[in-house]
Structure 1
Amino acid sequence: MKRFFKIGIFVVLFFALSFGSGFYFTYKNLVSNKSNTNGQDSFFEEAEKNGHLNILLLGLDAGTIGADEEHNRHRSDTMMLFSLDLKNKKVNILSIPRDTRVVLPNEGVQKINAAMAFGGPKLAVETVSKLLNVPVHYYVTVNYEGFKKIVDAIGGVEIEIERRMKYDDNAGNLHIDLKPGLQVLDGEKAEQFVRFRHYPEGDIARIKAQQKFVKATVKALLKPANIFKIPKLIEIVQENVKTDMSPMDMIKLANFARQLSEEDIETYTLPGSGQYIGGVSYFIPEENKVRELIDEICYNKNGIKVAVLNGSGYSGVASEIAKKLESMGFTVVKIANADSFDYDITTVLYPKEKPEYAKEIAKILNNPVIKEDEDSKDDITTIILGKDIKDN
Structure 2
Amino acid sequence: MNSGHSSLPPRAKNGGVSKKKPPRKKKSGVKSFFKAILIIVLLAVLGVVIYAGSLYFKAENGVLDTGNNTPVPPEKAATVKPITMLILGTDYRPKHQTYLTDVMMVVSMNPETNSATLVSLPRDTNIQLEGYNSNRKLNSFYTTFKSQEKDGGTSAEDEMKTMLGKYLDVDIDYVTVLDFQAFRDVVDALGGVNVNVQYNMCHRDSVDGTDINLKAGPQKLDGKEALDYVRYRKSMNCNPKTKESNDFDRNARQSEVLHSLIDQMKSFGGATKVFKVLDAVDDNMKTDLEKDQLKNMIKAYYDINKDNVKFMPVTGEWRSPFVYINESELAEAKQALKDELAGKHMNEPEETNTDSVSNP
Q: Same fold (TM over 0.5)?
A: yes
> Which amino acid is 2:87 matched to?
L
TM-score, length-scaled by structure 1:
0.65
Question: Would the alpha carbon gap of residues 77 and 247 (structure 1) be closer, same or farther in structure 2, given more than 3 Å must change?
Answer: same
Select 1:164's aligned residue among 197, 200, 211: 200
1:112 is the counterpart of 2:138: yes
1:276-327 residue CA offsets vs partner (Å, 9 max, x unmatched): 4xxxx112224344223321x21228xxxxxxxxxxxxxxxxxxxxxxxxxx
Give the whole-Å Cα distance in 1 for the aligned partners of 2:250 and 2:261. Answer: 16
Counterpart in 2 of 1:175? Answer: 211
Structure 1 residue matching 2:135: 3-state secondary structure: strand
The equivalent of 1:14 in structure 2 is 46
Q: Which residue of 1 aligns with 2:189?
A: 153
The DSSP-based 3-state class of the residue aligned with 2:116 is strand
Residue 92 of structure 1, aligned match among 106, 111, 117: 117
Contact 2:47 2:305 in 1 (8 A): no
> How far is 1:132 from its partner?
0.7
Which of residues 210, 213, 231 is equivalent to 2:257? 213
Q: Is the 8 A contact 1:64 1:74 kept in 2?
A: no
Mapped contact 1:14–1:257 kept (Cα < 8 A): yes
How far 1:124 sits from its partner (Å)?
A: 1.8
For 1:208 and 1:286, locate their aligned partners in 2 and report how far apart those are by CA, in whole Å.
16
Give the aligned residue type for 1:109: N
Letter of the 1:246 counterpart: E
Structure-2 change in CA distance of 1:33 and 1:216 (3 Å) = same
* Larger RCO (CA within 8 A; separation ≥ 6): 2
Mapped to 2, the partners of 1:210 and 1:163 lie a distance apart of 16
1:242 CA drift (Å): 1.4
Q: How far does the alpha carbon of each residue in 1:135-192 deviate from its partner, in whole angstroms, 9 at most, with x for none? A: 1111111111111111111111111111111111221211111111111111111111
Q: 2:224 maps to what in 1?
A: 188
What's the CA shift for 1:84?
Answer: 1.6
In the alignment, what sits opposite 2:338? 299
Query: For residue 323 of structure 2, what is the aligned residue in structure 1?
Result: 283
| Runs (5+) with no aligned partner, structure 1 | 67-71, 302-327, 330-355, 357-392
Kindly indicate whether the alpha-carbon contact (under 8 Å) linking 2:49 and 2:303 is maintained by their aligned counterparts in 1: no
8 Å contact kept, 2:68–2:288: no
Supply the AA of the counterpart residue of 2:338. Y
- Matches of 2:62 and 2:286 in 1, distance apart? 14
Mapped pair 1:144 → 2:170 = no
Q: Does 1:101 align with 2:126?
A: yes
CA contact (8 A) 1:141 1:243 kept: yes
Structure 1 counterpart of 2:90: 60
**Which residue identity lines up with residue 211 of structure 1 in the other structure?**
S
Contact 2:34 2:294 in 1 (8 A): no
Q: CA deviation at 1:109?
A: 3.3
Identity across matched positions, percent: 21
Q: Structure 2: 5+ residue runs without aligned partners?
A: 1-30, 146-155, 235-242, 345-360
**Cα distance change of structure 1 residues 154 and 99 upon mapping to structure 2, 3 Å threshold:** same
Contact kept? 2:315, 2:329, Cα under 8 Å:
yes
Going from structure 1 to structure 2, the CA distance change for 1:32 and 1:64 (only over 3 Å counts) comes to closer
| Structure-to-structure mapping, 1:203-352, within 5 angstroms | 203-276=247-320, 281-295=321-335, 297-300=336-339
**Structure 1 residues 134 and 284: alpha-carbon distance in aligned structure 2, compared to 1, 3 A threshold:** same
SS of corresponding position for 2:122: coil
Give the structure with the higher percent strand. 1
Confirm or deny: 8 A CA contact 1:11 1:218 kept in the other structure: no
Is the Cα–Cα contact under 8 Å of residues 68 and 289 in structure 2 kept in the other structure? no
Structure 1 residue 90: deviation in Å? 1.9
* Alignment-mate amino acid for residue 150 of structure 1: V
Would the alpha carbon gap of residues 260 and 38 (structure 1) be closer, same or farther in structure 2, given more than 3 Å must change? closer
Report how many residues are paired.
Answer: 289
CA distance in 1, matches of 2:167, 2:323: 13
Give the direction of change, closer, same or farther, for the CA distance of 1:30–1:131 in structure 2 (3 Å limit).
farther
The TM-score normalised by the length of structure 2 is 0.71
Asked whether the 8 Å contact 1:63–1:74 carries over to 2, the reply is no
Partner of 1:76: 101
Equivalent position of 2:21 in the other structure: none
Whose radius of gyration is greater, 1 or 2? 1
Alpha-carbon separation, structure 2, partners of 1:76 and 1:220: 26
